[in-house]
Amino acid sequence: MTEVRKDACVCSETATEEDLLARLDAVLADYKDTPGALIPVLQITQSIFGYLPEPALKKIAETLGKSFSEVAGVVGFYSFFTTQPRGKHLVRVCLGTACYVRGGKDVLDALKGALKVDVGGTTDDRDFSLDVGRCFGACGLAPVVVVDDDVHQGVRPTQIAKILDQYRESGADGKGGVS
């Protein structure tokens, strides 16, 4: 994976859109004539903004000499890119075969209800974003919910409130490991 520049992260500081676009300009100046720069530039841009807004995608396309549709196509193809702002915590539900058969869909429905968002959505307070995956490689632990980097195994719909509360109360990470 491409190394992410330290000056690219907005972390907890509040930056204006102008500031963020200026950071993007600096990145584009560095990568402008680099073959194969699109993916690294998109990765860095997402770390700057927290997602890939349309004005940034248009600027990338123009600077790298690509069509907007080509850039948007790459963003749409790779699941780690997002064009929607993300919450502080990313909640992902596995819907691979083992998780689905063992109740993953019911867990997803419970999360949708608790968070009041659909898949791909972010809560109004920007605390949580909800997504699904097809297999997390933890079939023996099914159904699995991953919050940030924490794996929650054998999750039942009745456990959703308790899991989410861990992240609401902690502010940063909920548990730090498998639950």
**63 and 100 in one domain?**
no
User: Where is pLDDT greater, at 124 or 9?
Assistant: 124
Tell me, yes or no, whether 177 lies in a domain.
no
Question: CA-CA distance, 20 to 160, in Å (whole number)?
Answer: 35
Contact present, 92 and 131 (Cβ < 8 Å): yes
For residue 26, the Cα-to-chain-centroid distance in whole angstroms is: 24
**66 and 95 in one domain?**
no
Q: Quote the domain boundaries for residue 51.
A: 6-77
- State the first-to-last Cα distance of the chain, in angstroms, to the nearest integer: 29
Tell me, yes or no, whether 60 lies in a domain.
yes
Looking at 51, 77, 103, the residue that finishes a domain is 77
Query: Out of 49-53, 141-145, 170-174, which region has the weakest mean confidence (pLDDT)?
Result: 170-174
**104 and 47 in one domain?**
no
**102 and 68 in one domain?**
no
**96 and 34 in one domain?**
no
Tens digit of each residue's pLDDT (9 = 90 or more) over 89-99: 999 999 999 99
Mean pLDDT of the chain: 87
- Number of independent structural domains in the chain: 2
**162 and 97 in one domain?**
yes
Tens digit of each residue's pLDDT (9 = 90 or more) over 150-161: 999 999 999 999
Confidence of residue 6 (pLDDT cuts 50, 70, 90): very low
- Does residue 5 carry a pLDDT above 60? no
For residue 52, the Cα-to-chain-centroid distance in whole angstroms is: 11
Which stretches of 32-96 are DSSP H helices? Answer: 38-49, 54-64, 68-77
| DSSP assigned state of 66 | -
